[in-house]
């Protein structure tokens, strides 16, 4: 498993501050945590940092060479896996709304949203390490990224995503409120791959936006 260790910076009265994760006996949300951090006993979701770039890059690469290879042509798999270097990818997701999931001091997932206009944003990346899929990490990442986006861009009304592997993940996105909006495509170095577009309205009342 690829990951990034979190170093201990200081200690407090109720536990150790490990990076930005306060370790306590409670699994509840703590009011003293920064607003962009969600924590349970095992899982921390926080904003992306530059030092997370290599682990995020490897998660994406592993997904193409692993699960995506079942659904995409070989040239798209290889082209997608090698489409960005580590530095370029780190800069790319660092310039967008990105968050990461950390468990047992290892980075196990990330999500990135790109703002495209005053009202629309694209959920560009969501990747979770293979041995943590099916545990709720992806859903928590997607929800956190959406809440983080709407705190900084409350004018956004629509989130969308394009997937070239709907056989694999369309039902997952529909459980999160996305609905089929039509056909689309995904660009890979080998060319364009047919895809579907899924959309979600996010302009309704929500306590996360207050």
50-109 residue pLDDT tens: 999 999 999 999 999 999 999 999 999 999 999 999 999 999 999 999 999 999 899 999
Q: Average pLDDT, stretch 139-146?
A: 96
Q: Average pLDDT, stretch 129-154?
A: 94
Residue 191 CA neighbour count, 13 Å, CB half: 6
The C-alpha atoms of residue 89 and residue 57 are separated, in whole angstroms, by: 7
Q: Across the chain, where does the E strand assignment appear?
A: 8-11, 16-18, 21-23, 38-39, 43-47, 97-103, 106-115, 120-128, 158-163, 179-188, 191-201
Closest CA to 168 of 36, 79, 71, 103: 71
Rounded to the nearest 10 degrees, the angle between the axes of helix 166-175 and helix 137-152 is: 60
> H-type helices in the chain, by residue range?
53-65, 74-81, 86-94, 137-152, 166-175
pLDDT score at 188: 83
177 sits in the region (left: phi over 0; alpha: psi -120 to 50; else beta) called left
In degrees, rounded to 5, the angle at the alpha carbon of residue 47 between the alpha carbons of residues 142 and 36 is 85
Whether domain 8-209 has CATH 3.40.50.10890: no
Percent of the residues in the chain that have a pLDDT greater than 70, as a whole number = 77
pLDDT score at 112: 98
Confidence of residue 17 (pLDDT cuts 50, 70, 90): very low
pLDDT over 70 at 33, yes or no = no
Q: Give this prediction's pTM.
A: 0.77
């Amino acid at each position: 498993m690829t990951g990034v260790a979190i170093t201990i910076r200081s200690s407090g009265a109720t536990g150790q501050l490990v990076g930005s994760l306060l370790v306590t006996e409670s699994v509840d949300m703590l009011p003293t945590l920064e607003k962009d951090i969600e924590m349970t006993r095992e899982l921390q979701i926080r904003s992306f940092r530059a030092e997370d770039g290599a682990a995020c890059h490897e998660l994406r690469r592993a997904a193409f060479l692993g699960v995506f290879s079942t659904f995409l042509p070989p040239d798209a798999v290889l082209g997608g896996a090698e489409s960005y270097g580590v530095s370029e990818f780190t800069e790319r997701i660092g310039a967008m709304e990105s968050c990461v999931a950390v468990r047992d001091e290892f980075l196990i997932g990330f999500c990135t949203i790109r703002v495209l206009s005053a009202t629309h944003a694209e959920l560009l990346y969501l990747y979770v390490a293979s041995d943590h899929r099916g545990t709720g990490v992806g859903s928590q990442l997607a929800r956190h990224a959406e809440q983080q986006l709407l705190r900084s861009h409350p004018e956004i009304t629509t989130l969308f995503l394009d997937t070239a592997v709907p056989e694999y993940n369309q039902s997952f996105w529909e459980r999160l409120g996305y609905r089929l909006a039509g056909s689309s495509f995904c660009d890979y170095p080998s060319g364009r791959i047919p895809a579907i577009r899924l959309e979600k309205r996010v302009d309704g009342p929500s306590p996360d936006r207050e």
